[in-house]
Structure 1
Amino acid sequence: ELTLNAEQEFSGGQLDPGFLPWIPTADPVADGQRLFEWLFAHARMQAAWAEVRGQFTQRRLRLRIDADAPELHAIPWELLREAIEGAAPNDLAATTATPFSRYLAGRWQPGSPILQRPIRVLVAIANPQNLSDFGLQAIDVAAEWTALQNALVGLDVELIQLPQPCTLATIEDALKKGVHVLHFIGHGVYRAQQQDAALYLADDANRVQPVVDADIAAMLARQLADANMHNDDKLRLVFLASCQTAARSPADAFRGLAPRLVQAGVPAVLAMQDLVPVDTARAFATTFYRQLLQHGQVDLATNEARSHLLTVNLSGASIPALFMRLRDGALLGKRGRIAGDKSENFWPFLLDDLRKGKCVPFLGPRVTAGLLPDAAQVATRLADKYNYPLTDRTDLAKVARYIALNAPQDERAEYTRLLRRSLFAYLGLKPTREDRQRFANANLTETAAGIGWAEKVRALHENEIHHLLAELKLPLYMTTNCDSFMTEALRVTGAASVRRAGPRWEQVQAGTPQYTLDPEPSRENPVVLHLNGYDDDPTQAHQMVLSEDDYLSHFVRLNRDHNYILPMDVVGRLGESSFLFLGYSLNDWEFRVVLQGLVAALNRPKKVNVGVQLEEGPDQDPEKVLQYLGDYMDQYNIKIYWGTPQQFATELYSEWQRLGGPNGVVAEEEWDDDNW
């Protein structure tokens, strides 16, 4: 089956078992086409692939093979080649349009992208003295070290050479000091009788010591689970430049060294699934690391390295196999850009406000990227269902306005219904028949709680934004989203009680009393206030802000009547806190209404500074946009963080740990609020 964007499924295809066992020929091009034709032999799969290819010229391919079909793991899927009528053939694992990997799902956090620079690469070259006793050639350690140094010259990488002898214990000791990449050069073997893989390491006397996959995986699992190690220092990639280390046993889908390492918790493993020529190995490594350092995506870098091998006519382009459990392939991250001439103060003072509980996060639509379909996707589906006649079919506020005029009350219910149906797919789950019956009439909130969303999503995203914010233990969280993700995250982090609240929606008249929450928001009893309503309360669901008309009316209410429609203890806390906007774009209705409707009306002292994160667009000129944003945001005293919500979450967590967590002191000196 094919799953598109973790949501749309195309199923019903079958593989012809007569094709197996795989028998390669001397022509890898023909083998690749034969493999593609077998994979897409079924008419339904052909149609599904054509539809996906037509919708998305750029598409990440993650081949997920069920553990109950281990014979499929031995197939060299990296050969896949699509013959396209009237166009050049497409090598799926060697083109930038289709970053390719063997995806291994499991209950392990995939790790956050590495922000630290330089990237620390431990080079372990195993060259025991008696390799010839095993029929193996000695390795020229100096030549391999020099080749890798030359390959990475000019890159922001720190190479660390492991001294001889290369034992499992010395590798473990080096990893404890903080290493991002383990690059192993040596010999390996798959032992059919024992049904395991082994690397030929050394003992203390520098004689051959075969170390089986289970022992290597156990050592790495200990390292990755070490609570005393900073997350930024933990291993993220293992590169196995050895023979046959990527082979899989047809008896067990998790046997073979590479998948064992992923099973142990390594986010990505690059391994060779056959004997690899030295020239091929070096050329592949050179291109791979250079491309990885450029953009950070491990599957894309692997494709680019294979493409280079094909371009320079080196054999073995399909031998390197990437096993990973990263949904987006992001192995390396980059720090966001902080605008302004005092950017060095951004993190210390933001973290100080967070630590004091004097910062209020505002969660916008892009916070749920990768967790729910975005507004444009939902708008397109609603436009299709209700025959929206205009061209702006991705504008949810406009589509919702059309539906409200033609099918009153339907737009809110249909909107939350679409979100609810997406929960399973975005968690990588397939609802059972029992699930479908159980949640048939459930709302979004009930479904999220019922399937254990908070626990399941944390297993997929190490730095999931809602969980990260919950760990800050703030009294108040504001959101313009209708989902319960912030509430669910707070519950699993141990808050005594978590409350959801929304505005009062009745018309404010003369004599309308102000009101407060009981008890007021605190670290022990945090409040998540949904400015635009939410689905788990009949009144809030009925008044949910969705269409253009809704936003215009809500703007007026927030600007004029915020002291009556919001709890006064919330208004008071907003007046004395800095704000942290997450997941907004300047053109979002949500952001404009909050900024010009609520923030402008609060008459907050200028000394209370506001941190903001805005998303960078791919077609934007950064300098011009930053200048425009700076001019616009100055009137609201907003500092700009330039990057994505995921970038920000990863960097925030890194800074939070680096500066001591909740008990650290980060801003002891006297400082002028106006110049934050």
Structure 2
Amino acid sequence: MLNFDITIRGSAAPYSVTASYRQRTAEGAFALDLTQEAWQEQCRRLGQVDEAPGTAFIRHVGSQIFQDLFRDQVRDLWIRARSDLETGQAEGVRLRLALYPPAVAALPWESLYDPDRNMAFGASGRTPLVRVENLFQHVGPSREIQASLPLHLLLAAPEDPTGLMAAQAEIQLVRQMAERLGPAQMQVTTLEGRFGILELHQALQTHRPDILYVASHGEPDGILLWQQDVPHLATSESLRVTLERATSVKLVFLNACLAGQGSAQARFTSVGSQLLQAGVPAVIAMQYPIPDEVAVDFARHLFDELLNGPCPGAIDMAVAGARSTLYMLAPHTFSYGTPILWLNAEDGRILRLPRGSVGSASTARPSMARPHPAPVHLDLSQEEAWLAELVAGLDLTRLPGQLRFIARSWEESVEECRSLLYQLRHLEQQGDEPRYAAKVSQYRAHQQRMERLRSSLEDAIRGHGG
């Protein structure tokens, strides 16, 4: 995975842009920001929960950002990166965004959409998009990323004084998620009730979790906890101090609406960016409101990818895979782009797991287990049989009405898999080993996503009584 770094600086539009890729640089300009009324309205629409913005609108928003950014020299450098992807010289290109102007950072970059290739970055596992603060800004000392299984997750779910959140239901959903992964891969400890920042600090010191999952109400500058039996907003600064001392934590997942939303006036105000400054390798936070069940669904796919995906331990690839699944299920909502990933790891890896420790609790059914041929070369006849078995028996006409549009996405995924097998057969005959190996990696990643998508479709059919 290669890095394509974008840095935007300046105090007013047009802002200066510097792009770098494989020791080449390009300069450009960027004219959009959240002080513009049109963008304030577009962001408002993206953040609506009761009325989905629609696929066409989301693509329109993402296209504006893409076309204003990728112009002239920056466009030419991006074309070079895309060429490396398409010719197999790069397995993936990680787009890292260092956004200095607050009004630029507040834009919905996760909607980024390439209209020429009809590609949403949020749905692509080959071009993961992350935000960084470590390239040009001091962050806390690097943390040890070696981890052993099972991973320990601390779920902090304070009592909801508004009664609007179903805390017990979310706790149950997270526990079910962990059960689905299996106790050999993940274990959950819960912190509930009227606790405050000091109790959270004590729980982090006592349990030393690898992952902190917070389920609460959020604001751009804090998370709702308690203090002296009264609801209290724990500020991003106090949370930062707490996480600076919780050195076991490699990932913070904030299921709290708006905790990832930055101010258009000042840098490092959001909870997410503050925690990255604490030295946490990765932080995920929501820039818009998101239904609890969707956030938990995202987390389920995320942790499955993190442990059992094509790149175990790499959070950027795990987020890309989870976003891709949400996109396939509901491209007309912006749920796939609502989580922001801040990353403080050069290669995306926040966990270095023991060799051979992952994959032991795969969620794929034994009857669908993929063949495991010798390294690099695949038995393509067996792979074709696996694909036929995966597709067989999945009656998409039994999907709930509101999800039937996904049938086309599934069919397109099947065709993409068949196309990859055809390309592999052709490259095998040519004896082109480097391109063959790169295509195998691409194919295996696509296989994993298809298995998870089928599992989600089966759950939807079962849940509807199909």
Q: What TM-score, normalized to structure 2?
A: 0.63
For the 8 Å contact 1:245–1:273, the answer to whether it is kept is: yes
**Partner of residue 202, structure 1:** 226
For the 8 Å contact 1:65–1:73, the answer to whether it is kept is: yes
Secondary structure of residue in 2 paired with 1:310 = helix
Please state how far the C-alpha of 1:203 moved relative to its aligned partner: 2.5
- The whole-number CA distance in structure 2 between the counterparts of 1:18 and 1:4 is 25
The runs of at least 4 consecutive aligned structure 1 residues that moved more than 6 Å come to: none
CA gap of 1:91–1:211, structure 2 versus 1, over 3 A, is same
For the 8 Å contact 2:21–2:77, the answer to whether it is kept is: no
Question: Within 5 Å, which residues of 2 pair with 1:449-488?
Answer: none
- The whole-number CA distance in structure 2 between the counterparts of 1:332 and 1:244 is 27
Q: What TM-score, normalized to structure 1?
A: 0.44
CA gap of 1:329–1:18, structure 2 versus 1, over 3 A, is closer
- The whole-number CA distance in structure 2 between the counterparts of 1:217 and 1:299 is 22
Secondary structure of residue in 2 paired with 1:215 = helix
Please list every run of 5 or more consecutive structure 1 residues that lacks an aligned counterpart in the other structure: 191-196, 225-233, 339-617, 622-676
- Please tell me the root mean square deviation across aligned C-alpha atoms, in Å: 2.2
Secondary structure of residue in 2 paired with 1:120 = strand
**Partner of residue 464, structure 2:** none
- The whole-number CA distance in structure 2 between the counterparts of 1:181 and 1:238 is 6
**Partner of residue 124, structure 1:** 156
Please state how far the C-alpha of 1:114 moved relative to its aligned partner: 3.5
- Aligned positions, number: 311
**Partner of residue 28, structure 2:** 13
CA gap of 1:159–1:337, structure 2 versus 1, over 3 A, is closer
CA gap of 1:311–1:204, structure 2 versus 1, over 3 A, is same
From 99, 102, 109, the equivalent of 1:77 is: 109
**Partner of residue 317, structure 1:** 336
**Partner of residue 49, structure 1:** 78
For the 8 Å contact 1:152–1:290, the answer to whether it is kept is: no
- The whole-number CA distance in structure 2 between the counterparts of 1:154 and 1:35 is 38
**Partner of residue 34, structure 1:** 64
For the 8 Å contact 2:214–2:253, the answer to whether it is kept is: yes
Please state how far the C-alpha of 1:63 moved relative to its aligned partner: 0.9
**Partner of residue 308, structure 1:** 325
**Partner of residue 214, structure 2:** 184
For the 8 Å contact 1:122–1:182, the answer to whether it is kept is: yes
CA gap of 1:198–1:120, structure 2 versus 1, over 3 A, is same
CA gap of 1:19–1:203, structure 2 versus 1, over 3 A, is closer
CA gap of 1:251–1:331, structure 2 versus 1, over 3 A, is same
Secondary structure of residue in 1 paired with 2:269 = coil
Please state how far the C-alpha of 1:162 moved relative to its aligned partner: 0.9
For the 8 Å contact 1:258–1:270, the answer to whether it is kept is: yes
- The whole-number CA distance in structure 2 between the counterparts of 1:152 and 1:337 is 20
Please state how far the C-alpha of 1:9 moved relative to its aligned partner: 2.8
Please list every run of 5 or more consecutive structure 2 residues that lacks an aligned counterpart in the other structure: 1-17, 46-52, 87-91, 358-436, 441-466
CA gap of 1:282–1:113, structure 2 versus 1, over 3 A, is same
- The whole-number CA distance in structure 2 between the counterparts of 1:31 and 1:171 is 38
Question: Within 5 Å, which residues of 2 pair with 1:526-541?
Answer: none
Please state how far the C-alpha of 1:19 moved relative to its aligned partner: 8.6
Please state how far the C-alpha of 1:55 moved relative to its aligned partner: 1.6
For the 8 Å contact 2:223–2:233, the answer to whether it is kept is: yes
2:177 counterpart of 1:160: no
- The whole-number CA distance in structure 1 between the counterparts of 2:282 and 2:202 is 21
Please state how far the C-alpha of 1:18 moved relative to its aligned partner: 8.0
Please state how far the C-alpha of 1:337 moved relative to its aligned partner: 6.6
For the 8 Å contact 2:122–2:327, the answer to whether it is kept is: no
From 279, 286, 290, the equivalent of 1:265 is: 279
Question: Within 5 Å, which residues of 2 pair with 1:315-394?
Answer: 315=333, 316-336=335-355
Please state how far the C-alpha of 1:212 moved relative to its aligned partner: 1.0
From 173, 177, 196, the equivalent of 1:147 is: 173
Deviations 1:112-156 (A, max 9, x none): 33421110100001224xx23xxxx44322211111111222420
CA gap of 1:275–1:334, structure 2 versus 1, over 3 A, is same
Secondary structure of residue in 2 paired with 1:183 = strand
- The whole-number CA distance in structure 2 between the counterparts of 1:287 and 1:16 is 35
Give the aligned residue type for 1:140. Answer: A
Please state how far the C-alpha of 1:17 moved relative to its aligned partner: 5.0
Question: Within 5 Å, which residues of 2 pair with 1:288-303?
Answer: 288-294=302-308, 295-303=312-320
- The whole-number CA distance in structure 2 between the counterparts of 1:119 and 1:241 is 19
Secondary structure of residue in 1 paired with 2:342 = strand
CA gap of 1:240–1:19, structure 2 versus 1, over 3 A, is closer
- The whole-number CA distance in structure 1 between the counterparts of 2:239 and 2:167 is 22
Secondary structure of residue in 1 paired with 2:93 = coil
Please state how far the C-alpha of 1:256 moved relative to its aligned partner: 1.2
Give the aligned residue type for 1:99. Answer: P
CA gap of 1:18–1:217, structure 2 versus 1, over 3 A, is closer
Taking only the aligned residue pairs, the percentage that are identical comes to 24
2:204 counterpart of 1:175: yes
**Greater gyration radius:** 1
Secondary structure of residue in 1 paired with 2:30 = coil
Deviations 1:19-56 (A, max 9, x none): 9533416411211111111111x311111110111123
- The whole-number CA distance in structure 2 between the counterparts of 1:49 and 1:287 is 29
CA gap of 1:110–1:77, structure 2 versus 1, over 3 A, is farther
Deviations 1:62-90 (A, max 9, x none): 11123xx1211101100001123xx5x11
Secondary structure of residue in 2 paired with 1:14 = strand
Give the aligned residue type for 1:215. Answer: S
Give the aligned residue type for 1:301. Answer: A
- The whole-number CA distance in structure 2 between the counterparts of 1:120 and 1:319 is 25
**Partner of residue 274, structure 1:** 288
**Partner of residue 668, structure 1:** none
Give the aligned residue type for 1:115. Answer: A
CA gap of 1:153–1:251, structure 2 versus 1, over 3 A, is same
- The whole-number CA distance in structure 2 between the counterparts of 1:117 and 1:311 is 30
2:94 counterpart of 1:60: yes
Secondary structure of residue in 1 paired with 2:159 = coil
